[in-house]
Structure 1
Amino acid sequence: MFNLDLGSTGAAGPFLAWSAIGTRDGTVPARSFYIRDGGNKTPYDASTGFVMDIDALKTGWQHSEGAVGVAPSWKWNESVSQMMGKPGDDWKKGFSVPCATGGGAVATWEQAGASAWQSLEALAPLLGQRPDAKSLPMVRLQEAKFVQFTKGSTVVPILEIVKWVDRPDCLKDGVAAGIATEPTPAPVAAPAAAPAAAVITDAEF
C-alpha cells in the first residue's frame, strides 16, 4: 500500500517540468512537458512514458519571489503520508520526484502550483494500487485538462499508469546500479608455473 497525504533545498538538475501556457522564450509549446538542464530547455514527449521513483517522492510547500536565477525555497514534509500546514500566504503545494525519462537518463520533476499539484492529486488513487513494495509506475500523459477556478484557470497534465515495472538501473544507487562503492583491489600476480618435467623416451636410455 502506498500512503500519500495530499492535503491536508531542491534536487540537482536536470529537471522535468510541465508548462501549461508554454515558456516565455518560445522553446516549449503550451500543454507540454520539457526538460530543463542549466539554461537549456528541451520539449519532452511524455506520451511515450516515464518511470516515477515514488519511493523518493517528497511533498511540501514552495515559495518563490519570481526572480530570474533565484531558486525557490522549499519546506518539505517529514513524510508523504502527512502534509504540514501552510507556512504562509505566498506558499504553494508542490513535490519532487526523480523520473527515468528514457535512454538511461534521469530528471527530477520538482514543481509547485495548481497544474502540477492537481496532476499528482489525480494520480494518487492509482499509486495506491501499487502491486508490491518494489514496483514503480511507468506513467504517460493521457490528456491536458483545462481547469477553471474562481480566479484564473490552468491546464493540468492528467497521467495514467501504463504498467508497473522493476526499478530501472538509472534509478538505483551504488552496487545495485553496478557502481563499485569500494576501491577495486589490485590484481594479485599468479605464482610462476613450475618447470615442466622432462619427458623420458626409450631413445634416451
Structure 2
Amino acid sequence: MGFMTAPSGGGDFKVFVSYNAKAGRWYTKRDGKDEPLFEVTDMTAVFDMPGLKTGWFKFSAGVAPEKVMDPSFTAAAANPGQDFKRGFVIDLFSDKNLLGVREFSSTASIVIDAMNDLYDAWMAAPEVAAGQLPVVRCVGVFPVTNKHGTNYQPKFEIVGWTDRPEALGESDQPATAAPTQVAQAPAATPPTPAAHMPPPAAAAPGAPLF
C-alpha cells in the first residue's frame, strides 16, 4: 500500500541528508550552507513518520529544492510546472550519525518504493498506537537496472523504537493517520545486497543506535 505512488518518469533552508542512487551512498553536512558534504557510513536514525509529507519537488544543484506540498496524502497539489516531480519529504534525527535533525527528500521511484515498504511496516507496528517513532537503519542497497542504467535501491529496516526526540519538535499529525491511496507495487527485491554500501557493523551491546 505505502503512502504514495512512485512517479513514472523554494522552501526554507534546512540541513539535508541525501541518498545518491547511482552510488548507493548517503551524504550530509554539518550545520551551515557552506559546509562540505561527508558520507554517512551508518545510516541509522529516528524517522519522523507522522510528519511525512508528499508533494511536487524541483531539485537544482547548489540550492534548496523548490517544494509545493500536498494538502494531504489523498489530495495532490496541482503540478506547478516543468521540471517538478512527485516526491516526499521527512525529518530524520540522529546526533550520532547525522549530527542532529536532517531533512530527507526524494523523487526517485526506487527510493519511494523503499519508503512505501517502510511506511507499511511502521503502520503495522503496535508501537505506533503508543506514539513511538521507529529507529530505522539502511541495512543494504540492491541494484535495479532499467533503460537509465543501474541504480541502487535502499533497504530500510526498523531496528528499534523510541519516544519522540525533543529535537524533532511537536508532531502536527495524528500518529495513526493512514492514507487510503493505493501505491504502485514495488519491484521485486534482489536477494543479495550490492557491495556499494556494506551493511553497518553491529553496535556494541548497550551502545546507542542513533
TM range, smaller chain: 0.5 to 0.7
SS across alignment from 2:83? coil
The structure 1 residue matched to 2:57, chosen from 50, 55, 62, is 62
- Any unmatched runs of 5+ in structure 1? 22-29, 174-205
The structure 2 residue matched to 1:119, chosen from 105, 114, 122, is 114
Residue pairs, 1:20-169, within 5 angstroms: 20-21=21-22, 30-37=23-30, 38-39=33-34, 40-47=36-43, 49-64=44-59, 66=60, 68-79=61-72, 81-82=73-74, 84=76, 87=79, 90-103=83-96, 105-131=100-126, 132-133=128-129, 134-169=131-166
SS across alignment from 1:147? strand
Q: Is the 8 A contact 1:4 1:82 kept in 2?
A: no
Q: Is the 8 A contact 2:13 2:64 kept in 1?
A: no
Q: Is the 8 A contact 1:60 1:83 kept in 2?
A: no
Q: Give TM-score scaled by structure 1 length.
A: 0.66
Q: Give TM-score scaled by structure 2 length.
A: 0.64
Q: Is the 8 A contact 1:10 1:110 kept in 2?
A: no
Q: Which structure 1 residue ranges, 4+ long, deviate > 6 Å from structure 2?
A: none
1:33-92 residue CA offsets vs partner (Å, 9 max, x unmatched): 111352320111235x2001112211112124x4x334432221112x325277266332
The structure 2 residue matched to 1:5, chosen from 3, 7, 20, is 3
Q: Does 1:16 align with 2:13?
A: no
How far does residue 116 in structure 1 lie from its aligned partner after superposition? Answer: 2.6
- Any unmatched runs of 5+ in structure 2? 171-210
Taking only aligned residues, the RMSD between alpha carbons, in angstroms, comes to 2.6
Give identity over the alignment, percent. 26
The letter of the residue matching 1:50 is A
CA distance in 2, matches of 1:172, 1:72: 22
Q: Which has the larger radius of gyration?
A: 1
What is the number of equivalent residue pairs in this alignment?
Answer: 159
Relative contact order, higher structure (CA 8 A, sep 6+): 2
